[in-house]
A and B are shown apart, each in its own frame.
Chain A
């Protein structure tokens, strides 16, 4: 068992995921969507999970909420939320936690809200599920209150409007109001700004940060946008093909990245400070099939430095291990010295990376 980034406030993390494995049985074979991922999030802190589509980031968050189809999914490992072990818990018991202790914000608020019910009704419904004794009026005033708190003007009037009558940013605010209506201790935001205009993105991220300060919840922010991560996350987990490849504080992972995949992600982000004429450097190739993973390090077919260390990257799966600074972990066979030299001489130089 590897050492996780150490808690900084001396309290037990609210969410602790240990050696999580999620498998789907399909007709083509077993999909290893998540394969041995561990992390922890304290209250008041934000963990960014980064990776391409198919890296297992969304599957991980759905596993925490217990939203996978139980018949076709095998989940093992441990998911501890507020001290309760969720893996193997009965659906009815997980259901009681969902929306109350842990809530989720989805990527596209237009399709994530029911088109036939008013926005307010959907928020009030989320409140009443977990407050069965609350009357209609109480749920309504609570929902109006939440709509106001997420910055929707005239919340009492907006309560009765339908999702299609809201703008994209307002819809995502309403979605956030719905997720926070029961004061959850854990909030999972799955690409909350991907479907929004860039200007609205910043507003939503600010809103999340403000609400976190107010509610002191633990937040997992799933994104493929490293800009978003640098803006709001405290810690970062980089995932590739269902495994964690790099994990550490946001300063370390973004300023001194250790994994070639992280380098690739950073090099493909445009920067205002770099050379305007320099080309972005995309990661060559495509994410691998999760049914038929490459041997050894799953990233090796796309890694320029896979051969540096002989055959190890092709034959042996790298374990997550210390990467210099405390709490910074990386899963790569490159020797520390080689990693630092390559990053300094070949990657950081390119200029588009920060």
Chain B
């Protein structure tokens, strides 16, 4: 088991190195002069050269990459002479537009996205899996058909439509909920939850559709397996047959999809963040792209990749925990 995890971690580290190389190359090597872009319209050649020196992009490319990696692990200092900016580790770059280390920007934005996604995921997984399971057990009944209909509606709706309807119904017309806002969990758990309830409900309902359908199909397939018949032949009560034997086997593919889903969403939920006016990673990325704030774009792209890689490792390990047959391989 330990060897399994170590091997996965090594592969993941290698993947991240490759991804960082590619993003680095794309953003710093391809545009003719990132300094020109950052500097603005009324820059002289002198100004551009200065910006290049401050950013460290006057150096040869391998050196730049080494500096970047060094910054991530040990921190670095940008600028020259009397213009100096410290960027402590983990330094993901320095945004001269915001006059802020990129790490600081990410540290402000990431908790917002994390809160939205993790709270939403609890809802969509809980709702989706239980709905799918009950549908499968009551296959063909009115409940089953209703659940399938509702989840189909969920699957075919868009965040910006459903989110706005919820916003109108629950905030503007009835005032049941406050307008979404972000309060750090550490400051006040109650306000944190109240402020994020609306995005959670939106994501929860829309994403649960996929999970309800998936877990219904998985459950139906598992219920027809021989080992379920064995469990019943032992005299186990139906509840234990369904949870301990059927759900346990049906959950494996759901874990895979959920892991990747969550990993992807952590990189940014732009539409949700925008509708509810929350300053998350998704919004930060899109804004950075609009203003060609390259260090921020690069950092968020890299971060999104890290989330997906990490989610993959978590899924792999969970898989091994769930299915003993995987541990051999």
Contact = CB atoms under 8 A, between A and B. Distances in A.
Given A112-B226, A112-B227, A114-B249, A98 B325 contact: no
Contact of A96 (B225, B235, B248): B235
Given A112-B229, A116-B249, A129 B236 contact: yes
A126 interface: yes
A79 interface: no
Point out which of B229, B233, B249 has the most chain A C-beta atoms below 10 A from its C-beta.
B233
B313 to A, nearest CB: 21
Interface string B234-254: 111100000001001100000
Interface string A84-110: 000000000001111110011010100
A95 B235 contact: yes
B324 interface: yes
Interface in B183-230: 225-227, 229-230
Nearest to B249: A116
Given A116-B249, A116-B322, A111 B226 contact: yes
Q: Which of B323, B324, B325 has the most CB of A within 10 A?
A: B324
Interface of B: 225-227, 229-237, 245, 248-249, 322-325
Interface residues of A, number: 26
A178 B234 CA distance: 8
Contacts of A183: none
A130 B235 contact: yes
A312 interface: no
A22 B230 CA distance: 21
Contact of A106 (B230, B235, B325): B230
Contacts of A125: 234, 236
B235 A97 contact: yes
A354 interface: no
B253 to A, nearest CB: 14
A115 B227 contact: yes
Contact of B227 (A96, A113, A129, A130): A113
B233 A108 contact: no
Contact of B323 (A65, A104, A116, A118): A116
Nearest to B324: A162
A130 B236 CA distance: 9
A352 B229 CA distance: 38
Given A95-B237, A100-B235, A129-B236, A113 B230 contact: yes
A36 B256 CA distance: 49
Given A67-B229, A113-B227, A129-B237, 16 more contacts: A67-B233, A95-B236, A98-B232, A98-B234, A100-B235, A108-B226, A112-B230, A114-B227, A114-B230, A114-B231, A115-B227, A125-B234, A126-B234, A126-B235, A129-B235, A129-B236
A118 B324 CA distance: 9
A115 B323 contact: yes
A164 interface: yes
5 contacts: A65-B233, A67-B233, A103-B233, A108-B226, A111-B226
A65 to B, nearest CB: 6
Nearest to B229: A67
B25 to A, nearest CB: 44
A104 B227 CA distance: 12
CB-based closest 8 A-B pairs: A99-B235, A98-B235, A111-B226, A99-B234, A126-B234, A114-B227, A112-B226, A162-B324
